[in-house]
C-alpha cells in the first residue's frame, strides 16, 4: 500500500467531540473528506445536526449528530452505544471538547476551576476511555486528543491557569494511555494548536484586543486557521501513522519557539 492509500480513511468509523463548530467541525469535515463516516458529538444538538448535515452533503459520507455532555459517564456511554449502533465499530476518536475561562487565579472560584478541569481533562479521559474499550475489543484504533500550546507555555496577557493546567494534563494523560494500550494496538496522540481563528474567536469583541497582541508576538503575525489542523488529524487517524503513539504535535506557527 502506497503512502497516499495509507492516508485515506475509506471505511473507517469515527467520532468527534465538540464537533459542532470550530476546530471540531473542521477536523470532522477532514475525516469525512478522507473517506471516514463521522459522528458529530456536541452539547448543542441543533448545531451538531447542522454540522453533520453539512459534512454529509459536502463529502458524501455518513455523518450523524449525537448530543452528549462529555463530563457525564452516562452520556459518554450512551454516545458510544449510539456510534456503535450507527457504524458498528470505532476506528478513530477525536476527543476535542473543551472550554477556556480567563479569570485571574486569585479571583477564580472553585466552581469555575472544577468546570474547566471536568470538561477539558475529565471529559477527554471519559471519551478516550470509552473509545479505548471498544478499540481493544475490536483489535485496535487511534485516539486523538486536543491539548494546546498552553500546555507548554503560559499565555499572556490573558489569565487562564485552569485552562493551562487542564491542557498539560491532557498531554500526560495521552502519553499514559499510549503506553498502557501500546500492545493492544490502540494508539493515542495529542494535537496542541496555537491561537486558531475560529468563527467564534474572530467574532468576539472582547477577544479583538487580545488577538492584536497575540499577532504582534507571533512569528507569523497571524492566527492559525482551523483547516491548518486537518492534515495532522487525518494522518493520526489512519494507517500512515501506525508507529506514531504517545506524541504531541504542536501546530502553532512557531509561537512556542519564542
CA–CA gap between residue 178 and residue 185 (Å, rounded): 9
- Catalytic-role residue among 12, 13, 49, 167: 167
Query: Is 235 an annotated catalytic residue?
Result: no
Q: Do residues 78 and 129 lie in contact, with contact meaning Cβ atoms separated by under 8 Å?
A: no
- Catalytic-role residue among 163, 192, 195, 241: 163
Specify the residue for cell string 506514531: 244
CB neighbours (10 Å) of residue 53?
A: 14
| Cα 219 off chain centre by | 25
Query: Is 163 an annotated catalytic residue?
Result: yes
Through-space distance between the first and last CA atoms of the chain, rounded to whole angstroms: 40
CA–CA gap between residue 57 and residue 80 (Å, rounded): 24
Query: Is 204 an annotated catalytic residue?
Result: no
- Catalytic-role residue among 26, 29, 127, 148: 148
Catalytically active residues, by annotation? 148, 163, 167
Amino acid at each position: 500500500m502506497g503512502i497516499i492509500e495509507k492516508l485515506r480513511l475509506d471505511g473507517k468509523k469515527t467520532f468527534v467531540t465538540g464537533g459542532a463548530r470550530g476546530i471540531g467541525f473542521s477536523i470532522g469535515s477532514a475525516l469525512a473528506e478522507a473517506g471516514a463516516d463521522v459522528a458529530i458529538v456536541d452539547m448543542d444538538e441543533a448545531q451538531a445536526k447542522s454540522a453533520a448535515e453539512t459534512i454529509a452533503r459536502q463529502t458524501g459520507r455518513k455523518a450523524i449528530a449525537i448530543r452528549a455532555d462529555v463530563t457525564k459517564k452516562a452520556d459518554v456511554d450512551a454516545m458510544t452505544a449510539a456510534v456503535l449502533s450507527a457504524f458498528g465499530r470505532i476506528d478513530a476518536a477525536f476527543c476535542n471538547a473543551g472550554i477556556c475561562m480567563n479569570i485571574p487565579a486569585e479571583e477564580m472560584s472553585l466552581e469555575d476551576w472544577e468546570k474547566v478541569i471536568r470538561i477539558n481533562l475529565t471529559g477527554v479521559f471519559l471519551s478516550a476511555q470509552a473509545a479505548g474499550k471498544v478499540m481493544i475489543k475490536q483489535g485496535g484504533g487511534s485516539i486523538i486528543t486536543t491539548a494546546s500550546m498552553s500546555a507548554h507555555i503560559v499565555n499572556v496577557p490573558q489569565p487562564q491557569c485552569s485552562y493551562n493546567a487542564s491542557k498539560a494534563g491532557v498531554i500526560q494523560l495521552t502519553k499514559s494511555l499510549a503506553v498502557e494500550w501500546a500492545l493492544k494496538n490502540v494508539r493515542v496522540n495529542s494535537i496542541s494548536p496555537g491561537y486558531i481563528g475560529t468563527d467564534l474567536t474572530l467574532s468576539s469583541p472582547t477577544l479583538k484586543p487580545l488577538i492584536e497582541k497575540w499577532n504582534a508576538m507571533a512569528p507569523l503575525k497571524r492566527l492559525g486557521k482551523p483547516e491548518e489542523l486537518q492534515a495532522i488529524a487525518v494522518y493520526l487517524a489512519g494507517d500512515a501513522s501506525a508507529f506514531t503513539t504517545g506524541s504531541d504535535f504542536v501546530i502553532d506557527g512557531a509561537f512556542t519557539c519564542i
